[in-house]
Amino acid sequence: MTAESSDGDSPAGGVLRFLVDEIGERAGVAIRDVRRLSGAGNARDAWSLDVSWIDGHDRTEQACVMLVKADGGQLETGLALEFRTLQALQDTEVPVPKPLWLDESGRWIGRPFFITALVPGTADERALRSNTGAAERVMLDLATAVARLHRLVPPLLEGSEGSYPVTAETAAARQLEEWKDVFHRNQLGPQPAVSFAFAWLEAHAPVAEAVSLVHGDLRLGNVLHDKGRLTCLLDWEMAHLGDPIEDLAWLYRRLWNAAPLLDPSQFLDRYRAESGFEVSSRHLAYYALFSEVKHAVISMTAARSFHDGRTCNLRMADRHASVATVMSEFYRLVSL
Amino acid sequence: MRPLPHELLGMVAAALTDTVLPALTDGPARRQLKAAISIIARSAAAIPLMDQYLREDIDDVASTLDGLGADVGRTRLPGVARGPTVPDLIVEHDAVHAELESFCEAVDAAMGGDLAALLVRVLDRELALGLSPWRLS
């Protein structure tokens, strides 16, 4: 077995030992070109690597991406659920990377990680913002892909339903319950604007048109595209069973600024045609409000990780200050 | 005592921007330094505003809660005696915000009225400090 790396702090040695354990001592496992990738977000570190092994008489070569759980992050989710989600979505019409290997234990490189096949493309939004034709095609591809995701019949995430089933009637309440719990565990001081927002959302929770697998972090930064077409949906760490409209509202948050790439009405036209869902404006408006509160809680979780010394990532240090920005958006939207 | 702490922080942020940042190529170290500079610069700008911010916010929250408490038959919790220093004001600020949070959790969540207006003012004042790393255009 051999390992080549071009980065000094690379986990190549531990990954190679893991792969030998997974694939087999006699398979001649080798890894090379282990490189750190930028732009993987604050919850994980990403690496690219090439893996090869002997399968029968032939040597198989596989370009891969490895996602390593950060020491402390803005999310409390584990990697296993995300890996299982990717497994569940194989052989569907939803474009996702092929999951290959998972280590939940952290014993090989000190932290849990999983490896997927590399999918061509970039998640760099700047390429789309400077090319309106490509942006429109990718956004329409995204509408189709999300509609296909939402048409899948749950349960795809068996065992993740918690104490009671997610139904059309309970979908909103389940998400509120989960995020409120995260809020209470991570707030660093009183947050009356958030508390009142939760109370408002609980009082106005809609009944879902359907229950589906929801991506949970659907935005351009998690969309891989190549030559002006969507190639893959990334970052499924917040995937859950819920109300599909949640994804649409999250995508078109003002903070992400997706509207200049494709007018929301055009996106919804494609989505409605592909999914068959009605998507009322009132329903969408509810999840726009929910999205701001969810983001506020994510920011608090990031700040809490830094405050408690679970991460040294300075990009999380003052995320608590961003809560006022997103909660102002909540109160602006609710008054419209 | 010049430079004052906030002036010193502002100069540190400027010096790091001008001298250290250009020496780093794109990567994790550069992104961390940029984050640190941003935090230092925003903190430097906010420090001189803290005293006035805290006093205005405490007065507004406390007086609005008094009015709302009377409306729903609640009695204000005893506040912390206001001291002259920013740390004293922060203690009092935490106390009135904790009371406001309790009130928010107890009332019917009908949007509008004095409570929602107060929450908007609270957020506006916090944003005016300039500490948030994000702005919505």
- Residue B61 structure tokens: 């929250």
Per-residue pLDDT, B109: 66
CB-based contact, B47 to chain A, within 8 Å: no
pLDDT tens string A216-236? 999 999 999 999 999 999 999
Mean pLDDT (whole number) for B37-45: 95
Give Cβ neighbours of residue A306 (< 8 Å, ≥ 6 apart).
Answer: A72, A312, A313, A314, A316, A317, A319
Lowest pLDDT segment from A6-10, A269-273, A309-313, B52-56 = A6-10
Give Cβ neighbours of residue A286 (< 8 Å, ≥ 6 apart).
Answer: A172, A201, A204, A205, A206, A245, A249
pLDDT tens string A159-193? 555 556 889 999 999 999 999 999 999 999 999 99
Give me the phi and psi of A102, to 5 degrees please. Answer: -130, 135
Q: Does position A117 have pLDDT exceeding 60, yes or no?
A: yes
- pLDDT band for position B73 (50/70/90)? very low
Cα–Cα distance for residue pair B76/B68, rounded to 1 Å: 10
Contacts of A318 in chain B (CB under 8 A): 39, 42, 131, 133
The ipTM is: 0.88
- Among residues A40, A92, A29, A91, the alpha carbon closest in space to that of A65 is found at A40
Contact B109 A318 (CB under 8 A): no
Q: Does position A40 have pLDDT exceeding 90, yes or no?
A: no
- Among residues A21, A7, A213, the alpha carbon closest in space to that of A105 is found at A21
CB-based contact, B48 to chain A, within 8 Å: no
Cα–Cα distance for residue pair A118/A115, rounded to 1 Å: 9
Cα–Cα distance for residue pair A292/A253, rounded to 1 Å: 8
Per-residue pLDDT, A162: 54
Residues A286 and A204 sit within 8 Å (Cβ to Cβ): yes
Residue of A204, A299, A315, A326 to mutate, testing the B interface (most B Cβ within 10 Å of its Cβ): A315
Rounded to 10°, the helix B113-128/A323-334 angle is 140
User: Domains of chain A, with CATH numbers?
Assistant: 2-117 (3.30.200.20), 125-334 (3.90.1200.10)
